[in-house]
A and B are shown apart, each in its own frame.
Chain A
């Protein structure tokens, strides 16, 4: 186990480096500079800015310097938030995104897990149809439509729920619900599929023949193999949900990091874009590692198989 973790950690570091490199050169291949102001600046000023942000150096030496600085944890000044360094931008937004994302993730697990389990317990029952229908809805409507409808239909009639903003626990209710719905729907469907798959196994039928109730047989025999797909899915999903969503942040005016993913790329804010990409990579890498370890823990035979006992 330790070996696997160590190897995966090495891969994570390598991945981060590769992401850094790919992003660095990709961003510089795209036309459109970050300092496009209404007025044309005098040449000496253009040079001063280029020197300040080191835009004129040879690409490779820029790359070397940026990599060095990044290793020391400094991603440079943001091009669009002129008073901030990238580290400060992320430090302000990330805790808020993590809080909202954490609540949403738990909510998604709770709702999705309940729904998936209830569905698998009585497939094609009224409950199953209802749950799957609702999850279809959660997956089928764009989240900006859901968010707007929730604001109109819930926040305005109920004065206790704010229409937007950040500040207290009640500000979390609508955005976390909105953020978690599609994830909950996916979890419910994956869990139901996984459980029903497992039900078709011989040992499940044997267990049922022994006179176990369906629920007990599901829990004892189907839950482990049946949740593999969910656990695999949770890796990237967790990274996505924790970094937030531009739509939710815009509709509910949440000061998280989600919007930077889009805005930094559109503004050609290279340092900030690099910062959020690295952040995302780090989260994805970590959660994938955790998810894979969890899959191994659930089904150790898979571990032996991929462990290379050829």
Chain B
């Protein structure tokens, strides 16, 4: 080779080396830092705009509401409010704030900050996705829907530290609601100054939680450090938390294994059962019941799904025990109801645990025989309640369709499973496709859709059968059942049932108690017998947590309160 080519090559090599060495400045994580694999970027850090569980994890580090949820029971504990009281008719709530609360920039935090933040959440021009959480307040819904006046909303601040809220009707879970992440206060001046965007610069995000923002790098990390102005500053044990935006679950697992992530909120589910056999992960992962119901929506506006027998047949053809043991495989339990985790299912995963809705006594509609109370079913029988392929074929035949083993009847048209992108949903869809083909002789196609478009397509009723799940917004069966009211936004099936609507509306007017539960249980039975859903399983929380990280609670919504985190330098 000649001198010239040699010098070109050498030059390239030198340039490479230089780039490599000069490269990005190496960063070191300060010791004692807890690193969390968040599974992606938060969509926003503005409490008025956040929607996802992921956003909520950051909001709970940066902000603090009137109450905070207990990390085990989710019961509301004092947060910014030191004490509260409620009027005898259960309609007027009065909160007394902790003395001397401050924002992270040193400004005083007063009750008016809460009032303004909540009114902002309701402001129809803001379009905050969680405005409906506050519709229980007098005049709030009207204002939020553009029909009422801002001043008519029943939130008052008689003194700088007292917030008084008047509810439309008594609401059993209102106090718990005040711990939910969209209801935290936002710092008025900085929100107005940034005109709703530009929350990207740490200097501009003023918060009141145990931590304050110190770094935000898109698709890389959000770092928070202990907020010296927080009234809890002394309780906060971990000085710095870094939330990594790593999307890939496998990459997060790799980082966890190499000790660079201490809490992985998203894990590869495909081979989780194999993973937890490894000693490095055995202690790190305990599947816990999650208040999530996984189901398929059925578009009742498209024949033949307008016939409840066809919908029921699709449901009865599925053996959910196989689905949970072999396909999802993370501890999910077969669903025979829509509201998750009735006692028999819970007994399989977490023996001895208290069901999330202990007073809610629902009945199930098994494949054969009449309805039974859920609590009467033995745990080992639970999974098979909705599996009866014979009955499924009989129902289809009754509806006038040809099924395997029968010659007469019309051929059932092929249809499409619409599902959103994820390895789990893909696996489930492929398995169901095969099940329905085998058991019912159906020609099923798959159609994959990406996150945002999937919901838009559901809303347009542009699907036949669509993968769905619902996670509780608050601790009450209503959070599940209300979504299939004919006027509810998340219905997205075209299904409307007058009797169901009546049950939901009546239950909504009751403060609680036996009668309310009876109405809700009646609604759920209607939903299961002729509703637009195919229940599949009750969800679980699967995360990897380093044994050195303590303070994460085992609650049914996987809500964690970073102020409680503890980090031990040495392995116990």
User: Are B9 and A103 interface neighbours, CB within 8 A?
Assistant: no
- Contact flags B454-471 to A (C-beta < 8 A → 1, else 0): 011101100000000000
Q: Which residues of A contact B9 (CB under 8 A)?
A: 110, 113-114
**Cβ of A163 under 8 Å from chain B:** yes
Residues of A within 8 A of B220 (CB): 166, 255
Given A34-B452, A44-B145, A168-B26; A39-B489 close (CB under 8 Å):
yes
A183, chain B: closest CB distance, angstroms? 14
Among the stretches B14-22, B83-91, B385-393, B498-506, the one at the interface with A is B14-22
In residues 243-287 of chain A, which contact B (Cβ within 8 Å)?
Answer: 249-253, 255-256, 259, 266-268
Tell me whether B41 and A81 are in contact (CB under 8 A): yes
**Docked pose: A114 CA to B12 CA in angstroms:** 11
Assess the A83–B23 pair: CB atoms within 8 A. Answer: no
Q: A163-B258, A168-B26 are in contact. Are A81 and B218 (CB under 8 A)?
A: yes
Contacts of A147-162 to chain B: CB distance below 8 A: 148, 151, 155-156, 159, 162
Q: Smallest Cβ distance from A227 to chain B, in angstroms?
A: 11
- Residues A37 and B219 in contact, CB atoms below 8 Å apart: no
Asked if B27 and A38 sit within 8 Å, CB to CB, the answer is no
CB contacts (< 8 Å) of B193 on chain A: these are none
Are A251 and B51 also in contact (CB < 8 A) when A44-B146, A166-B24 are? no
A106 engages B12 (CB within 8 Å): yes
Q: Which of B12, B257, B459 lies in contact with A36, CB distance below 8 A?
A: B459
Report, as a range, how many residues of chain B touch the other chain: 35 or more
The stretch from B69-77, B96-104, B243-251, B397-405 touching chain A is B243-251
Q: How far is A173 from B4 in the complex, measured between Cα atoms in Å?
A: 28
- The interface bits of chain B over 240-264 (1 if a CB of A lies within 8 angstroms of the residue's CB, else 0) are 0000111110110011011010000
Contact assessment for B46 and A82 in the assembled complex, using a CB-CB cutoff below 8 Å: yes
Given A48-B124, A156-B258, A166-B220, A36:B145 Cβ within 8 A: no
Type the 1/0 row for B41-56, where 1 means its CB is closer than 8 Å to any CB of A.
1011110010100000
Answer whether residue A208 sits at the interface, using C-beta atoms and an 8 A cutoff.
no
Are B12 and A250 in contact, CB atoms less than 8 angstroms apart? no
Residues of chain A within 8 A (CB-CB) of B260 are 162-163, 165
Query: Could you tell me if B250 and A84 are in contact, using CB atoms closer than 8 angstroms?
Result: no
Q: Which residues of A contact B129 (CB under 8 A)?
A: 37-39, 41
Please indicate the chain B residues that have their CB under 8 angstroms from the CB of A159 in the complex: 258
Decide yes or no whether A62 CB sits under 8 A from chain B.
no
Q: Which single member of B45, B51, B145 contacts A37 (CB below 8 Å)?
A: B51
- B192 lies within 8 A of chain A by Cβ: no
Contact A32 B13 (CB under 8 A): no
CA separation between A44 and B255, bound complex, in Å?
45
Asked if A42 CB lies within 8 Å of chain B CBs, one says yes
Is the pair A83, B1 in contact by a Cβ cutoff of 8 Å?
no
**Shortest CB distance A34–B (Å):** 7
Residue positions of B touching A, CB distance < 8 A: 1-2, 4-5, 8-9, 12-13, 15-16, 19-27, 41, 43-46, 49, 51, 124-127, 129, 131-132, 144-146, 197-200, 217-220, 244-248, 250-251, 254-255, 257-258, 260, 450-453, 455-457, 459-460, 488-490
A-B pairs, top 6 by smallest CB distance, nearest first, are A40-B489, A168-B26, A44-B146, A255-B220, A169-B23, A36-B456
* Interface membership of chain A positions 107-122, coded 1 if the CB is closer than 8 angstroms to chain B and 0 otherwise: 1011001100100000
Q: Which residue of A lies closest to B41 (CB)?
A: A81
Q: How far is the CB of A45 from chain B (nearest CB, A)?
A: 4
B-side contacts of A240, CB under 8 Å: none
Tell me if B455 and A151 are in contact (CB < 8 A): no
Interface string of A38-81 (1 = CB under 8 A from B): 11111111101100000000000000000000000000010011
**In the complex, A92 has a CB within 8 A of chain B:** yes
**Cα separation A83 to B127 with both chains bound (whole Å):** 15
With A38-B489, A82-B49 already in contact, the answer to whether A267 and B24 are too (CB < 8 A) is no
Give the B-binding residues of A (Cβ under 8 A): 31-34, 36-46, 48-49, 77, 80-85, 88-89, 92-93, 96, 99, 102-103, 106-107, 109-110, 113-114, 117, 148, 151, 155-156, 159, 162-173, 215-216, 219, 223, 249-253, 255-256, 259, 266-268
Contact across chains for B456 and A84 when beta carbons are under 8 A apart: no
A222 to B455, CA, bound (A): 59
**A167 neighbours in B (Cβ, 8 Å):** 24, 26-27
Residues of A contacting B49 in the complex (Cβ-Cβ under 8 angstroms) = 82
Q: Complex formed: what's the CA distance from A98 to B284 in Å?
A: 38
Residues of A within 8 A of B218 (CB): 81, 84, 88-89, 92-93, 255
Pair A38/B455 contact, Cβ less than 8 Å: yes
- Which residue of A83, A102, A162 contacts B197 across the interface (Cβ within 8 Å)? A83
A192 to chain B, nearest CB (A): 15
Given A156-B258, A168-B24, 6 new contacts (CB under 8 A): A32-B456, A36-B459, A41-B129, A83-B45, A168-B25, A219-B5
Chain B CB within 10 A, most for which of A41, A103, A253, A256? A253
Using known A-B contacts A32-B457, A219-B4, A267-B451, determine if residue A252 contacts B146 with beta carbons closer than 8 Å: no
User: A292 to chain B: closest CB distance in Å?
Assistant: 21
Q: Which residues of A contact B198 (CB under 8 A)?
A: 83
In the bound complex, residues from chain B placing their C-beta under 8 Å from that of A107 are: 16
A264 to chain B minimum Cβ distance, whole angstroms, is 11
Contact B16 A110 (CB under 8 A): yes
Residues on A with beta carbons closer than 8 Å to the beta carbon of B144: 42
Is the beta-carbon distance between B127 and A48 smaller than 8 angstroms?
yes
Chain A positions within 8 Å of B127 at CB level: 41, 45-46, 48-49
Contact A106-B217, Cβ < 8 Å, known A45-B127, A96-B24: no
- B contact residues around A250 at 8 Å (CB): 247-248, 251
Q: Which residue from chain B places its CB closest to the CB of A84 in the assembled complex?
A: B200
Nearest opposing residue in chain B for A118, CB measure = B1
List 24 contacting pairs A-B, 8 Å CB cutoff, sorted by A: A34-B452, A36-B453, A40-B489, A40-B490, A48-B127, A80-B43, A83-B44, A83-B46, A92-B217, A92-B219, A103-B19, A113-B12, A155-B258, A156-B254, A159-B258, A163-B254, A164-B251, A164-B254, A164-B255, A173-B20, A250-B251, A253-B245, A253-B255, A255-B219
Which B residues touch A251, using CB under 8 A? 248, 250-251
Give the complex CA separation of A259 and B246 in angstroms.
12
How many Å lie between the Cα of A107 and that of B15 in the bound state? 10
**Whose C-beta in chain A lies nearest to the C-beta of B462?**
A31
Q: Given the complex of chains A and B, what is the CA–CA distance between A162 and B29 in angstroms?
A: 14
